Structure 1
């Protein structure tokens, strides 16, 4: 009888009839006082109806009956945040994480609590962990929400202030001077860098290094023909360096001269055979020519040289996509996203997430096959009674809204197998 009241309570809660749901859960608990699920669902109904203290009381009862209930700790933490009991909320969410270290929502909640307590660095670290877990769960939307929270917490970059009477660059050597000019261009001040280089070349038209440097800056500005002219001049003046061939190759590639670009990259590799950037650049040229296997070979070589080259993983993922090897593409995208996340390169991180999302949308049959397999597995666990499975899935949907359908199935399967010692 208690199960009947309990199920009626679930149905009323689903219809947002919280008062009716609470009444049904009351009847279920009268029949079975030690019914943790009824306490938990009544707590959710109390919370949704605004009766936060009663919700906390019910979650506490669940914890008494099941001291390892991750959902109860997480839900009580949410309720305590609403009551402004931040120490209590932090204690609860940390217990939830202790029992389930892959609980993305718990890390996100802990980030919110730490932010409210004023511990910004700790909050960012928790949002990063949540984003990483959401990425593994292929939940792009919640991952993006965490990224937005991180961006909101990060302080705006302070512009460098140069005293009016001080020189913009302190020259210690020609090499250092050009390095500082390139740093200036990298920070976005390309016009001033070009002006400085023009002044250098006016003073000494035979300065090959200045031509090379100006070519690099012109590339950053999208002036590829001017860049190639500068690199040509540097080579005429016998400035033979891998950086010249590498950057001239990039400019040629962007102008559509892929064969010329590959020739330049080959020259660069003769000088610097361990330059991962050249392998990535040559891989891009091969990819543009639809030579995807050649591109993958170069990206793999770049990764062998530098296992943390996120761009190489990302580009290799693109090449696998063109070959319709979606599993390999997904693995490469996920690796690239993890590295971009660690480096806090949010623009590239979001770019990779978008690529992952496109793959997921392009594979409806694969997702359907996975869903069907999980559904059959769950049916076996509930003795073929899909009504029971539906109730269990709905409980998870109530507790964890906006998760993928496969996630709910897997969550129910995992808990059933754990309870049965499978």
Structure 2
């Protein structure tokens, strides 16, 4: 029976009926949850239908069942490349090559990723390797395409001195300079940022903005006491911007001084009452104190000010989890993941997905009888037209990937009931 559904899915995918193929693979997986090939083929169907996130989930399931599945790594790399997750794509294609050494397509894909990352020489080397392998396979078309890619990447002739254009280094403002230092720290180069700031303060020990900037970097390093000392110095030098109080409040809370942290963040709110980051910071302090309702209120206020701030949704999801309000937590995690995906912030995207998976594993599976009841109830609500129900369910899957089938059914039912009211 399992192979019957699987073969039906293959046939429907071949005919480009991806919806039907996915449904057939669903049936095969329901009968055999360890059927790795079904996850692979369903992932391909999702990918071809444009549901890229769901494809990534299925390839991941296939890899869990077979850790050396080169094909799964290769297709997950393709999906991640489509999502513009270049580091993730490179990591997966490296695995594909590791487990299937002489795969021309994998070297070709690695060349594409490295070209997009700006690693031109590495990209050329991979396209050459792919061309050699395609040639061995007598695949003339792909060999030609690889050679074209190499030709496009070959360095052009250097301009002569008379052709060279001299550009003067633009003068940047003090604010821009400190912004660059903070961006350097944000990318993980905190030691270099601290070194630059130490040099500035050695030249002028009355530079309040430099103390504030160094305090922010110390916070990123987890060195909260030195951060507080720098924020104190900035305030003494009359630099009383909201960023000083907000970050000093965060640092004080981190060392256990929650009341002092609240006092600082409240001061920041007086200066910047419409800054979402201040509400997020105060919500974090309330959460550290165990006052989850107050934390949720502040995160909600941050979202009202800036509805596209992923951290507000993610932290509110954590607070809902602590209150065991799992549906609300899942909704917030999904929204945070969606925004991080749009921003191509893959580290935070993965962190949110990990939190989401923990919640899913803690929720007991709904039995088949309950699933059938939900399905029948939804069918009645759409007048017996299951294709309407399927379209509504697919919309939820596109926006909230990776949830249980019962969750999608219940969410669609809730939406329909809310609309009727």
Normalising by the residue count of structure 1, what TM-score does the alignment of the two structures yield? 0.57
CA distance in 2, matches of 1:405, 1:180: 40
Q: Pick closer, same or farther for the CA change 1:170–1:251 going to 2, 3 Å.
A: farther
Asked if 1 retains the 8 angstrom alpha-carbon contact of 2:8 and 2:21, the reply is no
Report the equivalent of 2:328.
Answer: 328
CA distance in 2, matches of 1:311, 1:182: 19
Question: Partner of 1:205: helix, strand, or coil?
Answer: coil
Q: Pick closer, same or farther for the CA change 1:238–1:131 going to 2, 3 Å.
A: same
Gaps of 5+ in 1: 1-9, 15-37, 45-54, 76-102, 111-125, 160-168, 382-402, 415-422
Asked if 1 retains the 8 angstrom alpha-carbon contact of 2:208 and 2:238, the reply is yes
Report the equivalent of 1:28.
Answer: none
Mapping of residues 348-359 of structure 1, within 5 Å: 348-359=348-359
1:238, distance to aligned residue in structure 2 (A): 0.6
Q: Pick closer, same or farther for the CA change 1:203–1:157 going to 2, 3 Å.
A: same
Asked if 1 retains the 8 angstrom alpha-carbon contact of 2:56 and 2:76, the reply is no
CA distance in 2, matches of 1:196, 1:380: 64
Deviations 1:177-206 (A, max 9, x none): 222222222233222222222122122211
Gaps of 5+ in 2: 25-41, 65-72, 81-87, 91-112, 120-168, 379-400, 413-421
Asked if 1 retains the 8 angstrom alpha-carbon contact of 2:209 and 2:239, the reply is yes
Aligned: 1:108 with 2:106: no
1:252, distance to aligned residue in structure 2 (A): 1.4
CA distance in 1, matches of 2:356, 2:256: 27
Aligned: 1:286 with 2:286: yes
CA distance in 1, matches of 2:253, 2:242: 16
1:175, distance to aligned residue in structure 2 (A): 2.2
CA distance in 2, matches of 1:185, 1:290: 30
1:302, distance to aligned residue in structure 2 (A): 0.5
Mapping of residues 7-406 of structure 1, within 5 Å: 10=1, 14=3, 59=11, 70-71=19-20, 105-109=44-48, 126=50, 129-131=51-53, 141=61, 149=78, 150=80, 151-152=88-89, 154-155=113-114, 157=117, 171-364=171-364, 367-368=365-366, 371-376=368-373
1:308, distance to aligned residue in structure 2 (A): 0.6
1:360, distance to aligned residue in structure 2 (A): 1.9
Q: Pick closer, same or farther for the CA change 1:254–1:141 going to 2, 3 Å.
A: farther
1:43, distance to aligned residue in structure 2 (A): 6.6
1:338, distance to aligned residue in structure 2 (A): 1.1
Q: Pick closer, same or farther for the CA change 1:177–1:374 going to 2, 3 Å.
A: closer
CA distance in 2, matches of 1:405, 1:200: 51
Aligned length: 282
Asked if 1 retains the 8 angstrom alpha-carbon contact of 2:182 and 2:193, the reply is yes
Q: Rg: which structure is higher?
A: 1
Asked if 2 retains the 8 angstrom alpha-carbon contact of 1:317 and 1:330, the reply is yes
CA distance in 1, matches of 2:198, 2:407: 65
CA distance in 2, matches of 1:377, 1:182: 51
Asked if 1 retains the 8 angstrom alpha-carbon contact of 2:22 and 2:46, the reply is no
Normalising by the residue count of structure 2, what TM-score does the alignment of the two structures yield? 0.57
1:219, distance to aligned residue in structure 2 (A): 1.4
Question: Partner of 1:172: helix, strand, or coil?
Answer: coil
CA distance in 1, matches of 2:403, 2:213: 54
CA distance in 2, matches of 1:324, 1:201: 48
Q: Pick closer, same or farther for the CA change 1:374–1:404 going to 2, 3 Å.
A: farther
Report the equivalent of 1:100.
Answer: none
1:321, distance to aligned residue in structure 2 (A): 1.0
Question: Partner of 1:368: helix, strand, or coil?
Answer: coil
CA distance in 2, matches of 1:196, 1:409: 52
